[in-house]
Amino acid sequence: MTFSDFQDLVNLSRQKIYQETYAQNRETIRIKKEKTIVKNLAHILDAALRISNLKGFQAMSMRDLSRETGMSTGSLYAYFSSKEELAEILQSTGRAITLRLLRELSDEESTPKAKLRAAIRTHVYLSEVMRPWFYFSYMEARNLSKEERKKAISSELDTEKVFSDIIDLGQEQGVFARRDSRLAAGFIKAMMQDWYLKRWKYARREISVDRFADFVIEAVEAICLKQNEVDTNTEGSRA
Protein backbone atom coordinates (compact mmCIF):
# COMPACT_ATOMS: atom_id res chain seq x y z
CA MET A 1 0.00 0.00 0.00
CA THR A 2 1.43 3.36 -1.05
CA PHE A 3 0.51 6.77 0.36
CA SER A 4 -1.65 7.36 -2.70
CA ASP A 5 -3.42 4.03 -2.12
CA PHE A 6 -3.93 4.99 1.51
CA GLN A 7 -5.61 8.26 0.60
CA ASP A 8 -7.94 6.50 -1.84
CA LEU A 9 -8.66 3.66 0.55
CA VAL A 10 -9.39 5.67 3.65
CA ASN A 11 -10.83 8.77 1.99
CA LEU A 12 -9.67 10.73 4.99
CA SER A 13 -10.90 14.08 3.74
CA ARG A 14 -10.97 17.12 5.99
CA GLN A 15 -14.74 17.11 5.77
CA LYS A 16 -14.89 13.58 7.17
CA ILE A 17 -12.55 14.53 10.03
CA TYR A 18 -14.74 17.47 11.00
CA GLN A 19 -17.93 15.45 10.66
CA GLU A 20 -16.47 13.07 13.24
CA THR A 21 -15.51 16.05 15.41
CA TYR A 22 -19.11 17.26 15.30
CA ALA A 23 -20.44 13.79 16.08
CA GLN A 24 -18.22 13.55 19.15
CA ASN A 25 -19.20 17.03 20.42
CA ARG A 26 -22.83 17.18 19.29
CA GLU A 27 -24.13 17.97 22.78
CA THR A 28 -21.98 21.06 23.35
CA ILE A 29 -22.07 22.73 19.91
CA ARG A 30 -24.90 25.30 19.86
CA ILE A 31 -25.53 25.28 16.11
CA LYS A 32 -28.21 23.17 14.45
CA LYS A 33 -27.24 22.88 10.76
CA GLU A 34 -24.66 20.13 10.31
CA LYS A 35 -23.42 21.51 6.98
CA THR A 36 -22.70 24.88 8.58
CA ILE A 37 -21.11 23.23 11.60
CA VAL A 38 -18.73 21.09 9.55
CA LYS A 39 -17.70 24.04 7.37
CA ASN A 40 -17.03 26.33 10.34
CA LEU A 41 -15.32 23.64 12.39
CA ALA A 42 -12.91 23.21 9.50
CA HIS A 43 -12.09 26.92 9.61
CA ILE A 44 -11.80 27.02 13.39
CA LEU A 45 -9.70 23.90 13.95
CA ASP A 46 -7.44 24.55 10.96
CA ALA A 47 -6.87 28.11 12.15
CA ALA A 48 -6.21 26.96 15.73
CA LEU A 49 -3.62 24.47 14.50
CA ARG A 50 -1.92 27.05 12.27
CA ILE A 51 -1.69 29.63 15.05
CA SER A 52 -0.64 27.06 17.65
CA ASN A 53 2.12 25.64 15.46
CA LEU A 54 3.45 29.17 14.90
CA LYS A 55 3.23 30.71 18.37
CA GLY A 56 1.89 28.05 20.73
CA PHE A 57 -1.66 27.32 21.83
CA GLN A 58 -1.32 29.08 25.18
CA ALA A 59 -0.16 32.27 23.45
CA MET A 60 -3.08 32.19 21.03
CA SER A 61 -5.85 34.60 21.95
CA MET A 62 -9.49 34.48 20.95
CA ARG A 63 -8.81 37.67 19.03
CA ASP A 64 -6.11 35.82 17.06
CA LEU A 65 -8.55 33.03 16.28
CA SER A 66 -11.32 35.48 15.37
CA ARG A 67 -9.02 37.34 12.99
CA GLU A 68 -7.72 34.14 11.40
CA THR A 69 -11.19 32.63 10.87
CA GLY A 70 -13.06 35.82 10.06
CA MET A 71 -15.63 34.85 12.72
CA SER A 72 -16.67 36.93 15.72
CA THR A 73 -15.68 35.72 19.18
CA GLY A 74 -19.38 35.20 19.92
CA SER A 75 -19.69 32.90 16.91
CA LEU A 76 -16.60 30.99 18.00
CA TYR A 77 -18.05 30.37 21.46
CA ALA A 78 -21.04 28.67 19.84
CA TYR A 79 -18.66 25.79 19.03
CA PHE A 80 -16.72 25.62 22.30
CA SER A 81 -17.03 27.30 25.68
CA SER A 82 -13.33 27.96 26.31
CA LYS A 83 -9.84 27.54 24.91
CA GLU A 84 -9.47 24.49 27.13
CA GLU A 85 -12.50 22.88 25.52
CA LEU A 86 -11.11 23.75 22.07
CA ALA A 87 -7.86 21.99 22.99
CA GLU A 88 -9.84 18.97 24.17
CA ILE A 89 -11.77 18.84 20.87
CA LEU A 90 -8.54 19.01 18.89
CA GLN A 91 -6.92 16.30 20.98
CA SER A 92 -9.84 13.87 21.19
CA THR A 93 -10.63 14.03 17.48
CA GLY A 94 -7.11 13.17 16.37
CA ARG A 95 -6.73 10.42 18.96
CA ALA A 96 -9.98 8.74 17.96
CA ILE A 97 -9.20 8.76 14.24
CA THR A 98 -5.64 7.49 14.73
CA LEU A 99 -6.54 4.58 17.00
CA ARG A 100 -9.56 3.53 14.96
CA LEU A 101 -7.67 3.39 11.66
CA LEU A 102 -4.67 1.63 13.18
CA ARG A 103 -6.92 -1.13 14.47
CA GLU A 104 -9.14 -1.36 11.40
CA LEU A 105 -6.40 -1.55 8.77
CA SER A 106 -4.15 -3.92 10.71
CA ASP A 107 -7.12 -6.19 11.50
CA GLU A 108 -7.78 -6.58 7.78
CA GLU A 109 -4.49 -8.48 7.38
CA SER A 110 -4.22 -12.20 8.14
CA THR A 111 -0.57 -12.66 9.21
CA PRO A 112 1.41 -10.94 11.98
CA LYS A 113 4.01 -9.68 9.49
CA ALA A 114 1.31 -8.15 7.25
CA LYS A 115 -0.49 -6.70 10.27
CA LEU A 116 2.70 -5.04 11.51
CA ARG A 117 3.46 -3.58 8.10
CA ALA A 118 -0.09 -2.27 7.75
CA ALA A 119 0.01 -0.68 11.22
CA ILE A 120 3.34 1.02 10.51
CA ARG A 121 2.21 2.36 7.14
CA THR A 122 -1.10 3.53 8.58
CA HIS A 123 0.60 5.47 11.36
CA VAL A 124 3.19 7.05 9.07
CA TYR A 125 0.61 7.97 6.44
CA LEU A 126 -1.78 9.36 9.04
CA SER A 127 0.98 11.54 10.46
CA GLU A 128 1.47 12.93 6.94
CA VAL A 129 -2.24 13.59 6.31
CA MET A 130 -2.75 15.02 9.80
CA ARG A 131 0.71 16.43 10.48
CA PRO A 132 -0.49 19.75 11.97
CA TRP A 133 -2.55 17.80 14.51
CA PHE A 134 0.27 15.37 15.38
CA TYR A 135 2.68 18.28 15.85
CA PHE A 136 0.16 20.17 17.97
CA SER A 137 -0.62 17.12 20.08
CA TYR A 138 3.04 16.49 20.86
CA MET A 139 4.05 20.11 21.50
CA GLU A 140 1.02 21.08 23.60
CA ALA A 141 0.85 17.96 25.77
CA ARG A 142 2.60 19.67 28.68
CA ASN A 143 0.00 22.48 28.69
CA LEU A 144 -3.04 20.21 28.93
CA SER A 145 -5.17 19.89 32.02
CA LYS A 146 -4.38 17.03 34.36
CA GLU A 147 -7.33 15.05 33.02
CA GLU A 148 -6.38 15.66 29.39
CA ARG A 149 -2.75 14.69 30.08
CA LYS A 150 -4.03 11.38 31.43
CA LYS A 151 -6.04 10.89 28.24
CA ALA A 152 -3.03 11.76 26.08
CA ILE A 153 -0.81 9.28 27.95
CA SER A 154 -3.50 6.61 27.76
CA SER A 155 -3.89 7.25 24.03
CA GLU A 156 -0.16 6.90 23.39
CA LEU A 157 -0.08 3.65 25.34
CA ASP A 158 -3.13 2.40 23.41
CA THR A 159 -1.36 3.19 20.14
CA GLU A 160 1.77 1.37 21.25
CA LYS A 161 -0.38 -1.55 22.37
CA VAL A 162 -1.62 -2.02 18.80
CA PHE A 163 2.00 -2.64 17.80
CA SER A 164 2.96 -4.71 20.86
CA ASP A 165 -0.13 -6.93 20.48
CA ILE A 166 0.82 -7.66 16.88
CA ILE A 167 4.39 -8.45 17.91
CA ASP A 168 3.14 -10.72 20.71
CA LEU A 169 0.95 -12.53 18.18
CA GLY A 170 3.91 -13.01 15.88
CA GLN A 171 5.97 -14.43 18.72
CA GLU A 172 3.18 -16.84 19.63
CA GLN A 173 3.05 -18.05 16.02
CA GLY A 174 6.84 -18.41 15.85
CA VAL A 175 7.27 -15.70 13.20
CA PHE A 176 8.89 -13.06 15.40
CA ALA A 177 11.91 -13.48 17.64
CA ARG A 178 11.39 -13.36 21.38
CA ARG A 179 12.00 -9.75 22.33
CA ASP A 180 10.36 -7.21 24.62
CA SER A 181 7.29 -6.25 22.56
CA ARG A 182 6.63 -3.08 24.55
CA LEU A 183 10.16 -1.82 23.98
CA ALA A 184 9.80 -2.59 20.28
CA ALA A 185 6.48 -0.72 20.17
CA GLY A 186 8.09 2.29 21.88
CA PHE A 187 10.90 2.20 19.31
CA ILE A 188 8.34 2.22 16.49
CA LYS A 189 6.50 5.17 18.06
CA ALA A 190 9.73 7.15 18.43
CA MET A 191 10.55 6.67 14.74
CA MET A 192 7.06 7.89 13.82
CA GLN A 193 7.50 11.02 15.92
CA ASP A 194 10.75 11.88 14.17
CA TRP A 195 8.84 12.02 10.87
CA TYR A 196 6.28 14.64 11.88
CA LEU A 197 8.39 16.59 14.37
CA LYS A 198 11.39 16.98 12.03
CA ARG A 199 9.64 17.04 8.70
CA TRP A 200 12.01 19.74 7.42
CA LYS A 201 14.95 17.34 7.74
CA TYR A 202 13.36 14.71 5.51
CA ALA A 203 12.11 17.31 3.04
CA ARG A 204 15.68 18.63 2.67
CA ARG A 205 16.89 15.09 1.98
CA GLU A 206 14.01 14.52 -0.45
CA ILE A 207 12.72 11.54 1.51
CA SER A 208 9.16 10.72 0.52
CA VAL A 209 6.58 9.42 2.98
CA ASP A 210 6.59 6.06 1.15
CA ARG A 211 10.36 5.77 1.40
CA PHE A 212 10.27 6.60 5.10
CA ALA A 213 7.54 4.01 5.74
CA ASP A 214 9.57 1.38 3.86
CA PHE A 215 12.65 2.17 5.93
CA VAL A 216 10.77 1.95 9.24
CA ILE A 217 9.34 -1.42 8.22
CA GLU A 218 12.83 -2.70 7.31
CA ALA A 219 14.26 -1.50 10.62
CA VAL A 220 11.44 -2.98 12.69
CA GLU A 221 11.53 -6.31 10.86
CA ALA A 222 15.29 -6.50 11.41
CA ILE A 223 14.52 -6.34 15.13
CA CYS A 224 11.39 -8.48 15.26
CA LEU A 225 11.76 -11.18 12.62
CA LYS A 226 13.73 -14.34 13.18
CA GLN A 227 17.03 -14.35 11.32
CA ASN A 228 15.89 -16.75 8.62
CA GLU A 229 12.88 -14.51 7.93
CA VAL A 230 15.14 -11.43 7.74
CA ASP A 231 17.39 -13.22 5.26
CA THR A 232 14.38 -14.19 3.15
CA ASN A 233 13.14 -10.60 3.12
CA THR A 234 16.56 -9.31 2.13
CA GLU A 235 16.90 -11.81 -0.69
CA GLY A 236 13.41 -10.95 -1.91
CA SER A 237 14.17 -7.22 -1.99
CA ARG A 238 17.35 -7.84 -4.02
CA ALA A 239 15.61 -10.04 -6.58
- Tens of pLDDT, residue by residue over 91-123, are 888 888 889 899 999 999 999 999 999 999 999
Do you know the residue count of the chain? 239
Q: What are phi and psi of 176, to 5 degrees?
A: -100, 150
Q: Residues of the chain with pLDDT > 90: what percent?
A: 50
User: Is residue 82 classed exposed, middle or buried when 0-12, 13-18 and 19+ CB atoms within 10 A define those classes?
Assistant: exposed
Range among 53-62, 78-87, 109-118 rated most confident: 109-118
Q: Which of 141, 129, 167 is nearest to 14 (CA)?
A: 129
Long-range contacts of 17-20 (CB under 8 A, 24+ apart): 17/93, 17/97, 17/130, 18/42, 18/45, 20/93, 20/96, 20/97
pLDDT of residue 235: 44
pLDDT of residue 11: 66
Total-model pTM: 0.84
- Tens of pLDDT, residue by residue over 121-164, are 999 999 998 888 898 888 887 777 788 888 888 988 999 999 99
Kindly list the domain boundaries of the chain, sorted by start residue.
Answer: 3-238
pLDDT of residue 121: 96
pLDDT of residue 237: 46
pLDDT of residue 233: 55
Query: For the domain 3-238, what is the CATH superfamily, name and number?
Result: Tetracycline Repressor, domain 2 (1.10.357.10)
CA dist., res. 105 & res. 94, Å (int): 17
pLDDT of residue 211: 96
